[in-house]
Each structure stands twice: as structure tokens, then as C-alpha cells.
Amino acid sequence: MLSSYSDVFAIEHDRQHHEIIEPGDLVRTGVNLFPHFRVVAVHGDKAWVRNVANGADSLALVSRCRKVSDQALMAAE
């Protein structure tokens, strides 16, 4: 079985601080600023997220979701 790039390069995607992620939140799923996702639902350790740019739905680990701050939104405009 092949390892993922995260395993090979020991990349940590989980956030290092506590944050409550709820439906309706605007999030990103890593240290990069984009893409942004709208949280549709949360169940246990998983979140159903929708890409705001193209509408594609995905599942993401809640521990990897980071709320998008107002400062990040202003910088993106």
C-alpha cells in the first residue's frame, strides 16, 4: 500500500488550537488560505462541507477545519 504525501513528508494538517466548527461556518481545510468551504453539517469528527467557488460537496475531518477570519476575507477581495 502506498503512503500519502502527508505521511511521506510528515505534514500535519490538524489545527493546533481548539475551535468549535458548526453548520454555516466558513472554513478552510489546512494552512492555505483557499479554497473556502461552507459547513453544511457536522457529525462526530466529520464535517460535510461545500466549496463556495464551485459548489462541490466533500467530507472533511473537523480537526482539519479552520474558521476563515474577517481579515482573511478582506485580504481575498
Provide the residue ranges of all domains of the chain, joining segments of one domain with +: 5-76
Residue 72's pLDDT band (boundaries 50, 70, 90)?
A: low
- At position 24, the amino acid (one-letter code) is G
Residue 2 CA to residue 12 CA, distance in Å, equals: 18
pLDDT tens, position by position, 20-71: 999 999 998 877 778 899 999 999 999 999 999 999 999 998 988 989 976 5
DSSP single-letter state for residue 64 = G
CATH of 5-76, one of 3.30.70, 3.40.50, 2.30.30, 2.60.120: 2.30.30
Report the predicted TM-score, pTM, of the whole model to 2 decimal places.
0.73
